[in-house]
Structure 1
Amino acid sequence: MNIGQLIKLERQRQNMKQEYLASGICVPSYLSRIENGLVIPSEDIQQHLLKRLNVPLDALNNDGDEAKLSYFKSLFKSVINSRDKQKAKSLYQDVHIYIEEHPFEPNRLTLLVMETRLMLMLPEYSSEVQSNVSILEEFKKEMNTEQLFYLSTIQGILAYLNNNFRESSEIFTQIFTLIKSYRMEDWEMAELYYISSLSFLSEARFIISIDYVKAALSYFNQEILIERSIECLIILGIAQKSTGVLHEAVTTFEKAKEISSKLESSKFNRKIEHNLGASHSLLKNHDQALIHFQNSLNESSNSEDNLITIVNILKEYHKISDSQNAITWLRKGYDLLEHLPDKNRDFFANHLAVYQAVLLDNSDFLNIFKNALKYFESKQEYKYCSVYSFVLAKKLAEYKQYKQATIYYDLGFNYHLKQLKITSWEELV
């Protein structure tokens, strides 16, 4: 990076306007030309700009500390592989201090993408991530393939965290194209495969998710990164369950459970038990499903996690026409609903309201279903819209309201097409 780019990068890091930096030194348009590499500033102007930025004058003579960068990269690999938040925070602080003390370090962009990637692992810095990303985007033309790889990875993760799954998948697809002619290290590829598998899983692209998570799993198994292997097995099992290979999904979750039992931590138990319950439910092994759902409840004290499982238990009892137990779990769901924060309450309240209308034969069932459909449509949860439209249509037909039933059967089919992202009938052929 040339002197102008380094000045621009440091100015932006300090959140300083061009007008303020240029004031009394040069006109802002001239500073803009310096920052864009169109002119080389005189030594006098350089010194005044550095002083305004509170940068030592000898910073320009910094040749870079390759040993320090190599040390940071080694720790970075360990942090990403282990997902250890304590190590991530310690490394983030070390990198951040080094950047502040060496503002014109030639490896500044590499250090900045490393710092930003670490911030993504630390919730307390989440509000600052976008500021770093905005700065980095200004320097994309100056980046090498490795730096572009990390910047794009950060952008893909941000899109995923914001539930923009299609955008996230597109970014990760572009990353694989970007690095096609560049040899990334095995641990970097494993992390890319892992994150990409999550993104594609969320977009219901299960086959590619399975391929990617198997590639990540192979590396984590080889390196004996047990927790990362369990994470991969859970993703693999969910993708298998979603594609209908249910016996394989059960085998995968049982394997994850076996490995998890050897850990001192029980952090994966709830998720594994819940997914075993869901898999057995689809296999119509209702007794097994209920056992695993109950095990899942026993493993968690989180109200939202427990409410997810309670709704599944309620569904299971309803499927086997055990209305008494279904109503019992419906009431448990409503009791737990009060402990949820407002932002999450509506999602579960609408699910429970639908089951209450079905189980207790509520006379206002039509408005209850309409409100639920309106809510889930607003959240683009078309799967629930489709299912509850069909349930409503069936209930209307039972009351001999055939015209209304036809409307909701049609609506349910349209929601199903939206869920599949189908826009024309030709795509069905």
Structure 2
Amino acid sequence: MKLGQLIKLERQRQNMKQEYLASGICVPSYLSRIENGLVTPSEDIQQHILMRLNIPLDSLQSDENPEKSLPFKPLFKTVINSRDKQKANKLLQDIHFYIVEHPLEPERLTLLLMETRLMLMLPEHTVEIQTNVAILEEFKKEMDTEQLFYLYTIQGIIAYQNNQFRQASEIFSQVFTLIKSYRMEDWEMAELYYISSLTLLSESRYILAIDYVKSALSYFNQEILIERSIECLVILGIAQKDTGVLKEALATYEKAKEISSKIESSKFNGMIEHNLGTCHSLLGNQKQALLHFQSSLDAKSKPNDSIVTILSIVKEYHKIIDIKNAKIWLEKGHELLDLLTENNRTFYYNHFAVYRAILFEEKNFILIFKKSLEYFESKQEYKYCSIYCYVLAKKLANDKQYKQATIYYELGFNYQLKQLKVSRWEELL
């Protein structure tokens, strides 16, 4: 990066207005030209700008070697591959201290991208992430292909974490288009395949999700990154389950369970047991399903993890018409809502609202369903919209409200078309 761009980046990082930085030094329009590389300021103006930014004047002479920041790149690779939060936090601190000592580092933009990517692994940095992404967007035109790769990847992960799955999928599609004529390193591609498979899974695009996760799995197996391989097997099993090949899915989960046992790790037990329960549920083995769900809960300690399995238990008891236990587990789910992150709280509140309306036969069940449908539609969760429209339509038909039932049967079909990304029923043929 050139001096003007570094000044702009540091000014924005400090949340300083152009007018304030320029005051008493030059007019704001001249500072804007400096920051955009249109003019080279005199030494006197340079010094005054740096002083106002609290940047030591000797930084101009000490930050001339663009290779200095390269030692961070191998460490960055190791952290991303391992997904070790302690290592991520340590590297984040090291990069921060380096920037403090070298504020005019020519590779500052790359370091900012690294910082932001590491912060995504550490939930306490939500505000800093938003600030960094806003700054990075300002430098989008100056970025090379590799930097754009990281920026889009960051934005895709943020969208995924906010349950904006369609937006995340679109961003990752842009990444694949971006790098068609550019060779990224194998570890970077593995991470892209892994993250993309998650978004595709959330969009029910299972075939492509399977292809991507197998590509990631191949790299992680080759590099003997066992925990990452287990994660990939879980994703693969989910895609297989959702495409109906349940025996293959069970075999995949059992393999993941076996590997996890061999390395004596309990990290993935909750996830694996939950998905084994889901497979047995679909196979009609309700007793076995509930045993796996209970094992999953026993292995989980965080409310945001436990709530997923509790909802599945509610569904399972409702499926076998054990209303008493379904209600008990529904209440357990409600007790956890206040302990969830904001996005998860709203998401599961709406699921539980639907089940409460069903299980307790609440009189205003139509209004409850409508509110939940509005929420899931706003999040483009068309799968749930379609399912709950069907449930509501069936309930209305049983109550002999046939006209209303017809409306929701049709609405459910339209949501299904949206989920499949088709605009006309003929495209289903």
**Superposition TM-score, scaled by structure 2 size:** 0.90
Q: 2:49 is matched with which residue?
A: 49
- Please show how residues 288-367 of structure 1 align to structure 2 within 5 Å: 288-303=288-303, 305-320=305-320, 323=321, 325-341=322-338, 344=345, 346-357=349-360, 362=361, 364=362, 367=364
User: CA 1:183/1:418 → structure 2, altered by over 3 Å: closer, same or farther?
Assistant: closer
Deviates more, 1:76-85 or 1:34-43: 34-43
Deviation digits for residues 262-315 of structure 1 (CA, Å, limit 9, x no counterpart): 234312111111111111211223332222122222222444544433443343
- Please show how residues 20-419 of structure 1 align to structure 2 within 5 Å: 20-65=20-65, 68-303=68-303, 305-320=305-320, 323=321, 325-341=322-338, 344=345, 346-357=349-360, 362=361, 364=362, 367-380=364-377, 381-419=381-419
Counterpart-to-counterpart distance in 2, 1:283 and 1:294: 18
Counterpart-to-counterpart distance in 1, 2:336 and 2:196: 34
Shift of 1:128: 0.8
SS at match of 1:70: coil
Deviation digits for residues 227-283 of structure 1 (CA, Å, limit 9, x no counterpart): 111111111111111111211111111111111112343121111111111112112
Q: Is the 8 A contact 2:6 2:104 kept in 1?
A: yes
Q: Is the 8 A contact 1:314 1:326 kept in 2?
A: no
Q: Percent identity?
A: 68
Letter in 1 for 2:331: Y
User: CA 1:399/1:286 → structure 2, altered by over 3 Å: closer, same or farther?
Assistant: same
Counterpart-to-counterpart distance in 2, 1:94 and 1:176: 31
Counterpart-to-counterpart distance in 2, 1:146 and 1:244: 38
Counterpart-to-counterpart distance in 2, 1:3 and 1:383: 50
Letter in 2 for 1:356: L
Letter in 2 for 1:375: S
Give unpaired runs (5+ residues) of structure 1: none
Shift of 1:137: 2.0
Counterpart-to-counterpart distance in 1, 2:292 and 2:159: 33
User: CA 1:80/1:286 → structure 2, altered by over 3 Å: closer, same or farther?
Assistant: same
Letter in 1 for 2:202: S
**Superposition TM-score, scaled by structure 1 size:** 0.90
Counterpart-to-counterpart distance in 2, 1:306 and 1:122: 20
Counterpart-to-counterpart distance in 1, 2:162 and 2:359: 32
Deviates more, 1:277-286 or 1:74-83: 277-286
Q: Is the 8 A contact 1:88 1:121 kept in 2?
A: yes
Q: 1:12 is matched with which residue?
A: 12
Letter in 1 for 2:359: Q
Question: Which gives a bigger RCO, structure 1 or 2 (Cα 8 Å, sep 6+)?
Answer: 2
Shift of 1:331: 1.9
Counterpart-to-counterpart distance in 2, 1:122 and 1:427: 43
Letter in 1 for 2:6: L
What is the total number of aligned residue pairs between the two structures? Answer: 420
Shift of 1:41: 1.1
Shift of 1:178: 1.8
Q: Is the 8 A contact 1:373 1:389 kept in 2?
A: no
Q: Is the 8 A contact 1:197 1:208 kept in 2?
A: yes
Deviation digits for residues 305-356 of structure 1 (CA, Å, limit 9, x no counterpart): 4443344334334434xx3x44223223214422421852622431431441
User: CA 1:412/1:175 → structure 2, altered by over 3 Å: closer, same or farther?
Assistant: closer
Shift of 1:377: 2.9
SS at match of 1:379: helix
Counterpart-to-counterpart distance in 1, 2:94 and 2:127: 20
Task: Give the number of the structure whose alpha-carbon radius of gyration is greater.
Answer: 1
Shift of 1:2: 2.5
Counterpart-to-counterpart distance in 2, 1:303 and 1:54: 44
Q: Is the 8 A contact 1:76 1:91 kept in 2?
A: yes
